[in-house]
Amino acid sequence: MKNKPLAPSLPAQFGRMTREQLDAESDRYNAEFSATRAKRVPNARPHPRKRGRPPKNADEKAARVLITMTPQILAAADAAARREGLTRAGLVRQAVLDWLARKSRSRKSA
Q: Which pLDDT does position 23 carry in this prediction?
A: 81
Q: Which pLDDT does position 34 carry in this prediction?
A: 57
- Gyration radius (Cα) of the chain, Å: 35
- The whole-angstrom separation of Cα 108 and Cα 100 is 12
**Is the pTM here over 0.85, yes or no?**
no
pLDDT surpasses 70 at 100: yes
Q: Which amino acid is present at 95?
A: A
H-only helix segments in the chain: 19-33, 71-84, 88-109
Q: How far is CA 97 from CA 17, 40, 46, 85, 92, in A?
A: 80, 57, 42, 17, 9
> What confidence tens digit (pLDDT) does each residue in 49-69 have?
777 877 788 888 888 899 999
Per-residue pLDDT, averaged over 73-94, amounts to 95
**Positive or negative, the Cα torsion across 9, 11, 13, 19?**
negative
